[in-house]
Amino acid sequence: MLLNSQQCDALRELGNIGAAHAATTLSTMLMTNIEMDVPDIKVIDISQVHQYVSDELAALVLFEITGEVSGGGYVLLHIPKNSVIRLTNAMLGMTEQDRELTEMDESALLEIGNIMVSAFLDATAGLLNIIMLPSPPTLTIDMPHAAVQSILASEGFMDINEVVLFRTELRSDQHKIINNLFLLPNEPMLDEIVSMLENLLKITSGPPGTA
Amino acid sequence: MSKEQPDPQTVIIGIGEYRIAKTPMSSIGLGSCIGLVLHSRNGGMGGMAHVMLPDSQGREDRPGKFADTAVEILVTELASAGCRTSQLVAKIAGGASMFKGFSGNLNIGERNAEAIIAALKGKNIELAGKDVGGTMGRTVTYYPALEGRMVIRSADGRVKEI
């Protein structure tokens, strides 16, 4: 196994803080409340990815994580197709639901992704006392499973059989918008983050005065 | 969504898996991965693998995962099920390049396709159809009992058959 249950809990808490910051920025952009679930963390076999990530069309904004961590980890913002227009409408102040996606929508999606993922990584890295930055984003409107699979087959993942699937859902009930943030660290990055978290927990759970 | 009626018998072949059967098999959301079908011209049976990487480098734990071992295991298992290699035809779909410009993606999709085609050539198996490359994800379903039809649905909703 890549992670034991204690490490999963620590990672979940870390992701929770990051996702809360991403939710705040989304809430500011849309001027509405954003509901957020506790992040879902699973260690799954690659053959089972299809049970958690579908082939239903969605907007996918992908970032590589850079900064003071080893490369090869990604953040993927997943917006189901029926949420995409509602999201960009809410952001651009438009109302027409039944329309094709334009370049304006694509710019808006990239911008939303940039702001949310920057906030997510910033808060996460801040807690670990390091710097993490998103690469420039790439947007594709495609099948989520195909995107995740392509990431898992990329060089940074080095022939894995298991993957840590980290997902958190952000919702606007008012606008009926759903977003999912996926964190896809490769093994070296995952090991680094987990050991930083363990050090952090050791320090904070030490006797009074030692922190 | 697929316009085909989903067949309750259809088995999903996940990343790195393979199977031989007479009933339909499907792989959803192929990106750089390739759905490899070896269909036997008589007997209405065949095998499918969800190939992730081009080269096993001698590893044997997941034969369906790599181009070289996937061709090998399907040929072997079909032979033990009574399908002679000379009766097999191959079909492949997938191998897209979804995220151009990311450092880690050194054309895995293209290399997967090349490796499978080379392995098929090594076994003298005819490549009867292919739908590879491009930038879009694909969901594929293979029907051994329907003359080996392979139905491909792209992310843009287009459906084609090879």
pLDDT at B2: 42
Q: Residues 6 or more apart from B60 whose CB is under 8 A from it?
A: B69
Query: Helix (H, G, I), strand (E, B), or coil: what is residue B72?
Result: helix
- Which residues in chain A are contacts of B138 at CB distance < 8 A? 143, 146
Do residue B105 and residue A144 have CB atoms under 8 angstroms apart? no
Given a cut of 70, whether residue A42 has pLDDT beyond it is: yes
Do residue A146 and residue B137 have CB atoms under 8 angstroms apart? yes
Give me the residue from A72, A142, A161 closest to B62, CB to CB: A161
Is this model's pTM higher than 0.80 or not? Answer: yes
Given a cut of 50, whether residue A211 has pLDDT beyond it is: no
In terms of pLDDT, which residue wins out, A178 or A156? A178
Let me know: does A101 contact A84? Beta carbons within 8 Å.
yes
Q: In this prediction, what percent of chain B has a pLDDT beyond 70?
A: 92
When pLDDT is averaged across residues B88-100 and rounded to a whole number, the result is 93
B83: tokens are 């399908």
Residues of B recognised as catalytic: 33
pLDDT digits (tens, 9 = 90+) for A130-140: 999 999 999 99
pLDDT at B3: 43
- Which residues in chain A are contacts of B98 at CB distance < 8 A? 140, 142, 146-147, 150
Which residue from B minimizes the CA distance to A58?
A: B155
In terms of pLDDT, which residue wins out, A201 or A22? A22
Is the Cβ of A138 closer than 8 Å to some Cβ of chain B? Answer: yes
Give me the residue from A47, A55, A161 closest to B28, CB to CB: A55
Which residue from B minimizes the CA distance to A55?
A: B29
Let me know: does B112 contact B54? Beta carbons within 8 Å.
yes
pLDDT at B105: 61
pLDDT digits (tens, 9 = 90+) for B133-151: 999 999 999 999 999 999 9
Is the Cβ of A44 closer than 8 Å to some Cβ of chain B? Answer: no
Do residue A49 and residue B14 have CB atoms under 8 angstroms apart? yes
Using a CB cutoff of 8 Å and minimum separation of 24, what contacts does A22-26 make?
A: A22/A116, A22/A117, A22/A119, A22/A120, A22/A123, A22/A170, A22/A181, A23/A170, A24/A119, A25/A115, A25/A116, A25/A119, A26/A112, A26/A116, A26/A170, A26/A172, A26/A179
Give me the residue from A55, A135, A152 closest to B139, CB to CB: A55
In terms of pLDDT, which residue wins out, A115 or A158? A115
In terms of pLDDT, which residue wins out, A202 or A78? A78
- Which residues in chain B are contacts of A138 at CB distance < 8 A? 99-102
Q: What is the mean pLDDT of chain A?
A: 88
pLDDT band at A3; cut points 50, 70, 90: confident
Is the Cβ of A153 closer than 8 Å to some Cβ of chain B? Answer: yes
Is the Cβ of A149 closer than 8 Å to some Cβ of chain B? Answer: yes
- Which residues in chain B are contacts of A148 at CB distance < 8 A? 29, 31
When pLDDT is averaged across residues B158-162 and rounded to a whole number, the result is 95
Examine the predicted complex and report whether its ipTM is higher than 0.85: yes
Longest CA span, chain A: 61
Given a cut of 50, whether residue B1 has pLDDT beyond it is: no
pLDDT digits (tens, 9 = 90+) for B69-87: 999 999 999 999 999 999 9
